[in-house]
Amino acid sequence: MTRLTHRFTATHVDGSRLLGRAAAFLLIGLAAGPASAGRTPRTGPTIEAGGSLAEVWHTYADRPRSLTGIGHFGAGAFVHPKVAILLRFAALPVMLQPASFTSHFGVDVQWWPTSSLFVAAGGGAAYWHTFRAERDPMSGIGATARAGWAFVERRRTTVRVGVEVLPTWFRGGHSSTAVALVIDWQRL
């Protein structure tokens, strides 16, 4: 058991460093300016999908912090060349004692102030489930706030890096907050 705890701690420290380095990479990329010019206007349907590495703080497990991955998928439409509205699903598996799964489903509004920079925020329903039989699943509410930079831009697609914060609140006073480094793809 000591080896497992030591291994977790080493991974946790390395993960925190990785998140810090990735945030620095994002800031350097934002300072460098747009990846391409002369893009076509954004109109019509859009989809996005991606994954991330996240640090999660939570009140419902034996350990208050964990390092995990997040997967997400969103679909919606551009209502203006700089504004999109998406239905978005994000899932966080938390592999601690007890192992659990947190998900978030809601509406997200995405704003593109430049052709390569976006910010987004939204809210919706949250769900938490542990794999222990004695604990019941919980529902609640969740929010998301994110910002990113499109480092690859093609006529109708982008590949982006970004940072996302996902706080969730559940009945009984339980909560979690994930801070994630995201890489994803979006069809514009």
Encode pLDDT of 10-64 as tens digits.
444 445 565 565 555 555 544 444 444 445 568 899 999 999 898 888 776 556 7
Contact 75, 85 (CB under 8 A): no
Mean pLDDT value of segment 184-188: 91
Tell me the pLDDT tens digit for each residue of 87-107: 999 887 765 556 677 788 999
Q: How many other CB atoms are found less than 10 A from the CB of residue 47?
A: 14
Contact 137, 20 (CB under 8 A): no
C-alpha atoms less than 13 angstroms from C-alpha of 100 in its C-beta half-sphere:
26
Band of residue 133 on the pLDDT scale cut at 50, 70, 90 = low
Give the span between the Cα atoms of 130 and 56, in whole angstroms. Answer: 15
**Shortest CA distance to 182 belongs to which of 155, 154, 127, 144?**
144
Q: Which residue stretches of the chain are H helix?
A: 2-32
Bridge partners (DSSP) listed for residue 170: 140
The pair of structure tokens assigned to 185 is 């793809």
In degrees, to the nearest 5, what angle opens at C-alpha 182 toward C-alphas 178 and 184?
140
pLDDT, residue 113, reads: 94
Band of residue 158 on the pLDDT scale cut at 50, 70, 90 = very high
CATH topology for the 2-187 domain: Porin (2.40.160)
pLDDT, residue 40, reads: 56
Mean pLDDT value of segment 1-9: 40
Contact 106, 121 (CB under 8 A): no
pLDDT, residue 99, reads: 66
Mean pLDDT value of segment 108-116: 93
